[in-house]
Chain A
Amino acid sequence: MPVSDIAASDIVETVPSALIVLDRNLNITSANRAFYQTFRTSTAETEGCHIYALGNRQWDIPALRTLLESVIPHRASVEGFEVEHDFPTIGRRTMLVNARKIFRPGDHDGFILLAIEDVSEERAARKESNRNWLLTKSIVDTIRDPMVVLENDMTIVTANKAFLTIFGSTEAETHGRRVSELGQHQWDVPALRHLMEKVLPENKPIENFEIEDDFPSLGRRVFNLNARKISQPGNHAHRMLLVFEDITGRKQRERDAQTLTNEISHRIKNNLQIVIGLIAYEIKHTLPVCIPGLKAMQARIGAIAQLYDVISQSSRGRTVAVDSYLQEIAKTMSESLLGKQSGIGITVKAEPLEIDPDRAVPFGLLVNELTTNAIKHAFPDGTGHIVLSLEQIGDEIELVIADDGIGMRDKIVAKIPEKRGSDYVAIFVRQLGGTITTASSEGTGTIIKVRLPLLLAPSGGAEPLAA
Chain B
Amino acid sequence: MAVILVVEDDVFIREIAEVMIQDWGHEILSASDVSEALLHLRSSHQIDALFTDIYLKTDVHGGCDLAQQAIALRPRLRVLYTTANCVTDKLQALFANGTQFLRKPYTEDQLKDSLDHMLAA
Q: What residues make up the interface of A, taking CB atoms closer than 8 Å to B?
A: 262, 265-270, 272-278, 280-281, 283-284, 295, 298-299, 301-302, 305-306, 308-309, 312-313, 336
Contact = CB atoms under 8 A, between A and B. Distances in A.
Contacts of A301: 105
B84 A270 contact: yes
Interface of B: 10, 12-13, 16-17, 19-20, 23, 55, 83-87, 103-110
A336 B110 contact: yes
A284 B22 CA distance: 13
B109 A309 contact: no
A276 B84 CA distance: 13
A301 B17 CA distance: 17
B86 A312 contact: yes
Counting from the closest, the 10 A-B pairs by CB-CB distance are A277-B16, A269-B84, A273-B105, A272-B105, A298-B107, A270-B84, A266-B84, A276-B105, A280-B108, A309-B86
6 contacts: A266-B83, A269-B104, A273-B10, A273-B106, A302-B105, A302-B107
Contacts of A276: 105-107
Contacts of B86: 262, 265, 308-309, 312-313
Contacts of A313: 86
Contact of B109 (A265, A274, A275, A295): A295
Give chain B's interface secondary structure class.
Answer: mixed
Contact of B20 (A274, A280, A299): A280
A273 B87 contact: no
Nearest to A275: B105
A299 B107 CA distance: 7
A274 B55 CA distance: 16
Nearest to A274: B12
Given A284-B19, A309-B86, 6 more contacts: A273-B10, A273-B84, A276-B107, A306-B103, A309-B87, A312-B86
A313 B20 CA distance: 31
Nearest to B15: A277
A306 B85 CA distance: 10
A272 B20 CA distance: 17
Contacts of A266: 55, 83-85
A280 B104 contact: no
Q: Which of B16, B85, B104, B105 has the most CB of A within 10 A?
A: B105
A8 to B, nearest CB: 81
